[in-house]
Amino acid sequence: MKNTLFTPYNMNGISLENRFLMAPMTRSRATQPGDVPNKLMAEYYGQRASAGIIITEATQVSMQGMGYAKTPGIYTQEQIEGWKLVTDEVHKKGSKIFLQLWHVGRVSSSKVNGLQPIAPSAKIAKETTVYIFDGAPNGDATFVPVEEPREMTQEDINQVIEEFRIGAKNAIEAGFDGVEIHGANGYLIDQFLRSNSNERTDNYGGSKENRVRILTEITEAVAKEVGTEKTGVRLSPFISFKDMTDPEILETIQIAAKELESIGVTYIHLCEADWADAPEIPNDFRVQLRENFSKTIIATGNKTPEQANDLLGNNSVDLVGFGRKFLTNPDYPKRVELNAEMNEISDNHTLFGGGTARGYTDYPFLEV
């Protein structure tokens, strides 16, 4: 019998009721000051707990790691206490939840956090912006260009590794079932992985093996702190926005997969391109990834339920992530099961920011 989205799954000892994963989506609702998770965020995640597992929005491991306004952190006690509201609500509704640990690297501006960005190399990300909330009358985000980063020293690298370790420790204290290391989408770890953003000549640059090193060292530190069964990694081999085109990235990702297999992490989460004319993921890449990594593989990228079931049915992946569909349909698995009509985004202005239910927790459930 082939697996489908409704098949239960044992993820390295963590029992999931189905194969639906709610993908990480930045919503910028953290309470200010302090970037603290709150009751509204707990309601939002709790509404969507029919997913087998939820991965939270990206959560900065330090103020230096922050790139967008009002995103939550996991480096203060107040933030830990705020996240407990979220994990309690999700667990009460019967689902599992991992926290995504995030450092943006060069994708930031001093207008966001008062700090010059840091990165593997002092190379700006062309045509890349971040957002702040500067009092626009309609409450919208204002986009500002990223600033030139400072090249990281060995001390900086050691500091970031420690921040990820502490972030993982704090996440478990906050009640999460595990953590996902964000190594995707042009942020700090991805910047190290790619030859066009990493021009270093030390042990963290040059060869593909060297460019994978910081991912390996962060993952080892996190896994040692919270356990391999509670550690996942997100990668994005087919995404090149934020000035991240690299002809070597597919080979580099496979090297990374072998390293992650050696460490024993519980999953690799592929963030796949999700725009209309996005490249098709070649099947031989999926086959090779299965050969290099034996545990859970997740794919996220605007998949239809039919596409998801095909990937699950041929054993290409074990879980499938859905983002925008969960954003607008808190009961997305039920709607898929019944082939019901889907809610669409009601107002793009409410995607990022806002302190009310509008466009966040007010999307209706099915009436059945």
The amino acid occupying position 236 is S
Please tell me the distance from the alpha carbon of residue 321 to that of residue 16, in angstroms, as a whole number. 14
Residue 246's CB is within 10 A of a number of other CB atoms, namely 18
Residue 285's CB is within 10 A of a number of other CB atoms, namely 16
Residue 316's CB is within 10 A of a number of other CB atoms, namely 18
Phi, psi at 14, each rounded to 5°? -105, 115
**CB environment 42-52: b (16+ within 10 A), e (fewer):** bbbbbbbbbbb
**Residue corresponding to tokens 């603290």:** 36
Q: Which of 45, 187, 332, 363 is catalytic?
A: 187
DSSP label at residue 60: E
Q: Please, which residues bridge with residue 9 across strands?
A: 16
CA angle, residues 91, 230, 84, in degrees to nearest 5: 35
Q: Is 187 a catalytic residue?
A: yes
**Contact 267/11 with Cβ under 8 angstroms?**
yes
**Contact 36/30 with Cβ under 8 angstroms?**
yes
Please tell me the distance from the alpha carbon of residue 270 to that of residue 56, in angstroms, as a whole number. 15
CA angle, residues 267, 313, 334, in degrees to nearest 5: 85
Q: How far is CA 234 from CA 23, 55, 150, 219, 296, in A?
A: 11, 11, 25, 11, 12
Q: Please, which residues bridge with residue 16 across strands?
A: 9
**Contact 130/79 with Cβ under 8 angstroms?**
no
Q: How far is CA 353 from CA 85, 141, 176, in A?
A: 19, 7, 24
Residues taking part in catalysis: 187
